[in-house]
Structures are given as C-alpha cells and as structure tokens.
Amino acid sequence: MTAPLDVPGKAEEAQPEAIAQAAGARDRGRSLGQIAWMRLRKDKIAMFGGGFVVFMALIAALAPVIVNLLGHPPDAWNQDMIDPALGTPVGGMGGISGEHLLGVEPVTGRDIFSRIVYGAQISMLIGFLATLVSVVIGTVMGIIAGYFGGWVDALISRLMDIFLAFPLLLFAMAMVGVLPDAAFGLSGNGLRIAILVFIIGFFNWPYIGRIIRGQTLSLREREFVEASRSLGAGNFYILRKELLPNLVAPILVYATLLIPTNILFEAALSFLGVGVEPPTPTWGGMLSEAVDYYDSAPNFMLAPGLAIFLTVLAFNLFGDGLRDALDPRTQS
C-alpha cells in the first residue's frame, strides 16, 4: 500500500485563508467601531498608554482637589523645609516626606508634587487646544486640496510647504516676547496661553493637512463618490456626507500623535522662558529652574522630566495602537 503523497506548502497556504475566514465570520454583524475596539483591547501596550493618558487628563481636571488632599498650595513658600545656610531642602532626597510627596524646590520650598499636578493643566490644555486648531484647519485645507485638485491643490500644497519651512520656534519666541499686557479682551497668562495655542496650532496644520489630502485623493475616485456625483449631489454634499465620515479614522490617529508634539513644544517654550509666566507652574519652566540644582536636588529636575517623558510616551503608544486598530494593514 502506497503512502499518501505529502504535498509541502498546501497546509501552510490554507491556514492563513482559514484564519481570515474565521476572523471574517467573527467580525460579521459588528460595526467598524466595535471591530476597532476589539483590536485595540488586544493591544496591551496601547491600552496602557490610553489608560495613562486618561489618568493624566483626570489629574489635570481635578488638580485643585488632588492638591487639597495630598499637597500644598503650588505657590506657597515652605521656608521651614529649606536650609537657611545652603538654600537646599532639609532632609534626604530633596525633602521627600509624607507631607511633600516629591520633595520641595530649593530656595523657595514650594511643593514639587503640587506644581507637577498644576503643570499638567497647562500642558494638557495647550496640547489639546493647539491640536484642535491644527486638525480643523488641516482637515478643511487637506480635503479641499485633495477633492478639487488642479490649481487649488497646487496652491494649498505650496502653502503647506511654506508653513513647514517656517522657523516656528524663533517666531514663537519673537511673538510671545513682544506681547502687550492686554489684547483681545485677555491679559496675563490667559493671553499667553491663547497666543501659544494659536501659534502652535496654526503653524502645525500642514502635517495633518498632507495626510488628509492624500486620503482624499484616494477616496474621491471610489465608487460611492462617483455614485453621488451621478445622482446630482453637489461638491459640498460629497465633502460633508461622503468623504468626511471616511476620514474620521486618520484624523483621530494623527490627532493623537500630534498632541504629544504640541506638549513638547509648549515645554520647550516654557524652558526657554517665553511660555506661561511664573509663578504659574509649567513642566518646562520647572525644568529650566532645576538646571542650577541638578546636583543638590536631582528630584527637582527628575519630576517634571519624567512627567513630560511619560505623558508623551503614553500618547505615542496609544496613537500607534489606535492606528493599528483602525487600519490593520499598517500592522507589521
């Protein structure tokens, strides 16, 4: 009796097809949002990043409550915690204790924990609002350029190139440096925050604009767009009802990845002294003040540095996982 012929590769070829069919049967009947959520939940790293982002957002929103329970007023000087001869925190590890969870600042004795918590408000506020400005402008310009094409596309594309070549950091430093005391009904740090949101958001829109333009160029040739045109739908209707809903996924993904960039930019401006004015706490401002005390009070530099690093890392991890969940073709 002859042994059955073993045809190598057939089982291996059939296995991915069977897996794909099983996955399709499992996903049948679910919405795209449910399918994306199922994929995202399986990515533990992305879920950790998303959880940390939510945690930091809650800290920023509940800063007064948290500081009232666990800290001290962020601008209060605790001179009893400072060595009068050296100007450094008394005790070990920069004055870390049950009353001061992350220690105190040299010279002033201000509570580092409270200032980190309140600094999260500034970083998250500017990061989110600047991203919102970039997303709105970038989506509008990108979808118009991609849909209409021709001279409209050429004009907007050249405008994107100009904005991308603009020395944003130098412009922001110059703009904030010559601000008046009051303008547009705002004054003080309220005016500075508004200007920072405008500068960061307005000059960063080409990044998301290019993504939306590329996606629109692909979508405008699809059958459902042609069907809408054949039924007499106008351009505005097609942009609003046909294209924009199909661009929600890339908008969400790249907005998530743009937020940490804006947080870093705000921290850089504060570090250079052209961000929010002291004594209002910001992570970048705390890093700038800590430079002179890195050897005597390393926790003063470590706390805001870790806050920036972990927040930016969490946003990037969550953004990568969200991209893979919404578009499985990007997975490696």
Kindly report, residue by residue over 186-218, the tens digit of the pLDDT.
777 888 888 889 888 998 899 999 999 999 988
User: In Å, how far from its chain's centre is CA 103?
Assistant: 28
Residue 243 is given by DSSP the state I
The rounded distance, in Å, linking the Cα atoms of 264 and 308 is 7
Per-residue pLDDT in tens (0 to 9) along the chain, 332 residues: 444 445 444 444 445 455 445 445 555 656 667 787 788 888 899 999 999 999 999 999 999 999 988 878 888 888 877 877 777 787 777 778 878 788 888 888 888 899 999 999 999 999 999 999 999 999 999 999 999 988 999 999 999 999 888 888 888 888 777 777 777 777 778 888 888 898 889 988 999 999 999 999 888 888 888 888 888 888 888 888 888 888 888 898 899 989 999 999 999 988 888 888 888 899 999 998 888 887 777 888 899 999 999 999 999 999 888 888 887 555 54
SS (H, E, C) 79-145: HHHECCCCCCECCCHHHCCCCCCCCECCCCCCEHHHHHHHHHHHHHHHHHHHHHHHHHHHHHHHHHH
Contact assessment for residue 293 and residue 279, using Cβ atoms and an 8 Å cutoff: no
Angstrom CA distances, 122 to 15, 114, 135, stand at 52, 13, 20
Angstrom CA distances, 235 to 2, 147, 219, 254, stand at 69, 9, 14, 25
